[in-house]
A and B are shown apart, each in its own frame.
Chain A
């Protein structure tokens, strides 16, 4: 199956390893990945901040390019971010065109694509350590992503998945919220990290790098050694067997 890979601006610029990992996993699962070098951003930062007039042209351009990839033989759009995938779905309402609706219908978050569309492929992943899963808000509540990453992680050899009671609580990033109301943003991160520190884990994992970036920033400021890791990085991992 040929798929369009929507890398997202954050992963493209600040966590390319997660992007490479996701592409590697998709190829290992039998997909041909079509990478558009002209892609930029889903427009979520502006849209969520109420700057719809600024968001629209960016959103339109992104949807146009994704639609062109669909028209050119891609059967789906795969995106390593729950929130960006949710934004592509909101784009249908924002732009109101049949093309935008088709892009919305065919967009999938990376982990749920593997489970829901490719049917649980065996990826031969190996990662040794204890990890807890953070259910990023848009992925969880807009896209219903909950079981899929847990199924995928249960198949990673050597990985111990520890559940946090606050796994589905917002990390406090919220886009411009993180810098407009930093006190609250940090307090929300602290509430989650207070629990993380009781779990004896090596890392917290998620399908959303925005959350991980925010949590990592706070973890380091608190002197914690807990790492942050993207779902794709775990699934692409081929640590040497112990």
Chain B
């Protein structure tokens, strides 16, 4: 399943969402992979955070830095542009996904077309870059192992840090044997070695390398990119042209600000104190350097981001450093996986970012796919109050989204509820009716599938109701005293 439509980052209707959730819940292999994958990373993250005594202080500082930077976003970006250009980079401003696709495909074709190496970039997924490259005759090859795996499978990534989290080792083994038509070892080391050799073949032939970036640094016009595999080093240094596509919210003011973020991001994302490689890329080679690309093109992407700055509640969403900790800790994500969300960005951050970027009309289910438990808020290294944004979106959707049969029914139900709850006698009456209904349901199966009870009884019993309410018992207690 790929994300349908170039440039659309969300492609599920309400019915499809519910169907995808059902499919995910029924997929035993998926749920096993999710349970193992998320709990391993979550435990590592917890241990890593616990090993840093000043962890909470770091989070507070990171949140403040991001808030401050976002308040003067335009100035910071302009400073970045001036410094990047001064060091030989070309900076492009892409307002929309379509503009970004056009810019990048032109650059790739100008460079001679053919193969374009890609390192993992969720932003490139967001704009549907691979489909656009293919349409213009260019062959994108993903070099991140997880991304390469989902590319071979014709799927979209299901996690923002671990794209193939939804696949068990057995599933990957089956995939490789099918695609390459031969017998392969079953162990992780053997499979990885095979992938490495296959990927190596592609590195030498590409004219263009396309990457994202974890941070933009205004002070020096630099990109900071983090990785464990070394493929980003290859992608950004071997081809003649390096193109980086980066969301505008990735900017931080100074090199020294990296200190706080680098101490948080590895631990939050994978439990590592630091990733294996950190590449600070500033402009192009200059005398006497002779290694590296001839040209560096940095595409700054808006695609709806600046709109989020209008509202204090939604603006915090832009602080996200894409660590994935919220996905790993989310009890809902753990059950359904990333594909069920139907969005490039799944999990808790996806549930707020996607509706904010594409408009809640086409992503109205996502903010409700949560119990508001707050586990995500606890682990977010930049302290985004995700439940607060979810509540904001829920209110927006209830008030402004187009009516559906379900939303009309809900509104009616809550109007009745409010009518009942604003009078003690109506409340007592409705409570009595509810207890009678529940009591009948506890004894008679036929009652269990009536209206509001159906959603409950599909997997839960209804216990017998207490004969008297607390207030009734308190009245009796009062009278007997």
Residues of chain A whose beta carbon lies under 8 Å from any beta carbon of chain B: 7, 9, 11-17, 19-20, 23, 35, 37-41, 43, 45-55, 57-58, 61, 137-138, 141-142, 169-170, 172-188, 191, 214, 216-218, 220-221
Contacts and interface: CB of A to CB of B under 8 A. Distances in A.
A136 to B, nearest CB: 9
Contact of A184 (B335, B398, B417, B422): B335
Interface of B: 18, 21-22, 25, 31, 331-332, 334-336, 367-375, 377-378, 391, 393-399, 410-411, 414-415, 417-418, 420-424, 427, 431, 434-435, 438, 452, 454-456, 458-463, 465-466, 468-475
B424 A40 contact: yes
Contacts of B434: 13
A91 B372 CA distance: 17
A81 to B, nearest CB: 13
Contacts of B415: 54
A15 B375 CA distance: 28
Contact of B455 (A52, A182, A184, A221): A182
B459 A221 contact: yes
Nearest to B396: A50
A49 B414 contact: yes
A38 B335 CA distance: 41
- Which of A9, A38, A55, A191: most chain B Cβ within 10 A? A9
20 contacts: A13-B431, A16-B473, A37-B474, A39-B424, A40-B422, A49-B410, A50-B393, A50-B394, A50-B397, A50-B399, A51-B398, A137-B372, A172-B371, A176-B410, A179-B454, A181-B369, A184-B369, A186-B460, A191-B335, A217-B459
Contacts of A172: 331, 371
B314 to A, nearest CB: 15
A180 B468 contact: no
Q: Which secondary structure characterizes the binding site on chain A? A: helix
A174 B371 contact: yes
A35 B474 CA distance: 8
A142 B374 contact: yes
B41 to A, nearest CB: 15
A17 B466 contact: yes
B463 A216 contact: yes
* Nearest 8 A/B pairs, CB to CB: A179-B455, A174-B371, A217-B460, A50-B394, A170-B373, A220-B461, A16-B470, A19-B470
Nearest to B35: A191
Given A141-B378, A177-B368, A37 B373 contact: no
A151 B435 CA distance: 34
Nearest to A58: B421
Contacts of A49: 394, 398, 410, 414
Nearest to B454: A179
Contact of A182 (B331, B459, B469): B459
A191 B331 contact: yes
Nearest to B393: A50
Contact of A12 (B395, B423, B459, B469): B469
B388 to A, nearest CB: 10
Nearest to B455: A179
A188 B331 contact: yes
A141 B373 contact: yes
B25 A46 contact: no
A57 B421 CA distance: 9
- Which of B423, B434, B463: most chain A Cβ within 10 A? B463
A184 B21 contact: yes
B442 to A, nearest CB: 10
A45 B25 contact: no
A93 to B, nearest CB: 10
- Which of A11, A20, A47, A183: most chain B Cβ within 10 A? A183
A19 B468 CA distance: 12
Contacts of B396: 50
Contact of A14 (B423, B459, B465): B465
B417 A46 contact: yes
A216 B374 CA distance: 23
B46 to A, nearest CB: 11
A144 to B, nearest CB: 12
Nearest to A18: B470
Given A14-B466, A16-B470, A58-B422, A169 B331 contact: yes
A172 B25 CA distance: 14
B404 to A, nearest CB: 13
B21 A181 contact: yes
A221 B456 CA distance: 11
Contacts of B470: 7, 11-13, 16, 19-20
Contacts of A50: 367-368, 391, 393-399
A37 B434 CA distance: 19
A51 B475 CA distance: 33
A44 B305 CA distance: 31
A166 to B, nearest CB: 9
A137 B371 contact: yes
B296 to A, nearest CB: 44
B335 A188 contact: yes
Given A37-B424, A220-B461, A15 B332 contact: no
Contacts of B391: 47-48, 50
A180 B22 CA distance: 12
A174 to B, nearest CB: 3
Given A46-B414, A51-B411, A141-B373, A9 B331 contact: no
Given A61-B422, A170-B371, A180-B368, A14 B460 contact: no
